[in-house]
Structure 1
């Protein structure tokens, strides 16, 4: 491609996606620190202080407490709090096949089986998350933002290509002084774009992958999960699932080096009509993000299958924490925030430069 073609590609891909990318950068900034903001505002539920080594309650007691809190509803998912295993989140719904928008969360102390809270989807962080993930438009909104992410990656790559000839004829990172304000901003726009190039490509690509979560789940259900539950094809779903405590114990016995992260009940999106799906994770920074599904017969409590997820699920699981810098502690979160702010400057200056050029051309 000629430099003229690269210039047109950079201009139009940038113009189409920049407004939406500015929105994503602005909403993504508080999401980097969502745990810390939750603790400061009191939105994060904290378990009561108890002596170290306090034993965990039987999970069947926990489920019974959640069902007593919301009579007439069933549990779809049980999730361990990532930073505090003493807190359990139970997703309740009218039926096992109710859609995600009908789920309600009950927070329970894993040691006492007492209900701690029943949070609602509201508040500043909820609005930021919905705007960042789907613009309150569900799957179409996610796919639209994924398309904007692809355009952003193309704009970034084409910008790097265009900066190459300029860098060869002068010193790398030169900001020309004594010239017009537009030229200074152009140089600043270019150098900040090059400095953040690798980060932008990583965050942009992982963001695109994250928008495909529902599609990845659908492929996994039709591929690996269908193969794992083939012997039960055509059989009616389990009417009354058995002990979830026994299911988790069977999964942990099969993979003693891993810990449970969440349990999906029969008939939900992450399981079949006959199984509990217990998703296990490791203790290292990498394996902590990689989930291994273990299927347990919901009637007998017997493990029926356990296998590593396929590559496309692994790509999704790795992309999620990498997108928000949520795997390296506070230092990495601060670095992510700084780079996010620099990207906002790059996007804003790009719009201003285009407007100045159009105004100059008209004059």
Structure 2
């Protein structure tokens, strides 16, 4: 590789790394506890716990649960019902002042599906884990914060690619894995920086790209609403506003008949950003670990309970659905979480060592520059 080309790639690697390092360190440090958020919530006592009842205790139907939820929070309206794989007798309930209230202002809790009793979910509405999640996701700045982090993620990907390009000529001079212990501290850290960087290359690219996709989730959802959802609800464009909703009791059965090979993940009530003003949207998921993150909405007329559309998923919604759990290592249980955590720690070392190498190089360059200026 020509020296001019190397200098160009070195310039790209240096400045993309420097610009995004502070943000990436924050994301790596906050991402570490988020990998184990389920376990930490249980440890802190923030995970909802339902009271013990006989295993064959029947569940209330959905309309009965709606009534229980409205009685618990009479000033709010229903936004979503969801189901958690870890608690089969619980129904995650999200309510707010209006159906269109943005997620960070909604209130989340769990209803016992057998009795309708509300159970608090502190970590979903505040506390340590929510603070860490908001810092990791949007810097408490909403969409502008997400877009800033998406930009930093793009710089991170460029830093990874440029680092890999620079590593190729470096490897021609040294055997893979060599750390020159007899050299200076800076050179030892350079060898470690390069070694750890190349070992974590694939993982860092995966996490970087999926992080960018997740940060753009609001834009992807808006595109889905403007394209796919708008086409599906076109016949309702001139329809008058709903004055009453049909009971939600049979929504799951209706959606199951429409998508028999799938199971319900969550229900979006009319007026929310995942439905329309005239529809319940039951989002169905596949039965395998991979397809459980790919959601297909079944739109049900909120006044007649007729299925009006079974949406095809746009490719970008599939990408978003697969990116978010992959970003946090949620695909393979505890072994994958431990692997993700170990790679996260190694990435922190790469980021920290890169910053050290840059400052050490600048300090070493200053005396040389002074000597050149003072030379006759």
TM-score (norm 2): 0.94
Q: Does 1:28 align with 2:31?
A: yes
Unaligned runs of 5+ in 1: none
Paired residues of 1:46 and 1:87 also in contact (CA < 8 A) = no
The equivalent of 2:340 in structure 1 is 336
Q: What is aligned with 2:309?
A: 305
Matched, 1:188 2:192: yes
Q: Which moved more, 1:23-32 or 1:227-236?
A: 227-236
Counterpart check, 1:60 vs 2:70: no
CA RMSD of aligned residues (A): 1.3
Preserved CA contact (<8 Å) 1:265 1:276: yes
Please give the alpha-carbon distance, in whole angstroms, between the structure 2 residues aligned to 1:132 and 1:72: 31
Who is 2:207 aligned against? 203
Q: 1:314: which partner in 2? A: 318
3-state secondary structure, aligned to 1:2 = helix
Match of 2:168 in 1: 164
Alignment check: 8 A CA contact 2:108 2:125 kept: no
The yes-or-no answer on 1:78 pairing with 2:81 is yes
Per the TM alignment, residue 118 of structure 1 is displaced from its structure 2 partner at its CA by 5.8
Indicate the structure (1 or 2) with the bigger Cα radius of gyration.
Answer: 2
Is 1:102 the counterpart of 2:101 in the alignment?
no
Partner of residue 39 from structure 1, selected from 42, 46, 52: 42
User: Shift of residue 257 of structure 1?
Assistant: 2.0
Q: Comparing 78-87 with 277-286, which one deviates more in the overlay?
A: 78-87
User: For residues 207-266 of structure 1, what are the alpha-carbon distances to aligned partners after superposition, in whole Å with 9 as ceiling and x for unaligned?
Assistant: 000001110011101111111111111212322211112222211111122111111111
Mapping of residues 96-245 of structure 1, within 5 Å: 96-117=99-120, 119=122, 121-245=125-249
Q: TM-score w.r.t. structure 1 length?
A: 0.97
**Whole-Å Cα distance in 2 between the matches of residues 78 and 176 of structure 1?**
58
Matched residue SS, 1:288: helix
Q: SS state of the match for residue 107, structure 1?
A: strand
Query: Which whole-Å CA distance do the structure 2 matches of 1:60 and 1:330 have between them?
Result: 36
Tell me, yes or no, if the aligned pair for 1:238 and 1:266 is still in contact at 8 Å: no
User: 1:124: Cα distance to partner?
Assistant: 1.2
Moved more, 178-187 or 251-260: 251-260
CA contact (8 A) 2:80 2:93 kept: yes
Question: What is the number of residues matched between the two proteins?
Answer: 363
Aligned with residue 265 of structure 2, among 261, 264, 283: 261
Which sections of structure 2, spanning at least 5 residues, go unmatched?
A: 368-376
CA distance in 2, matches of 1:279, 1:40: 31
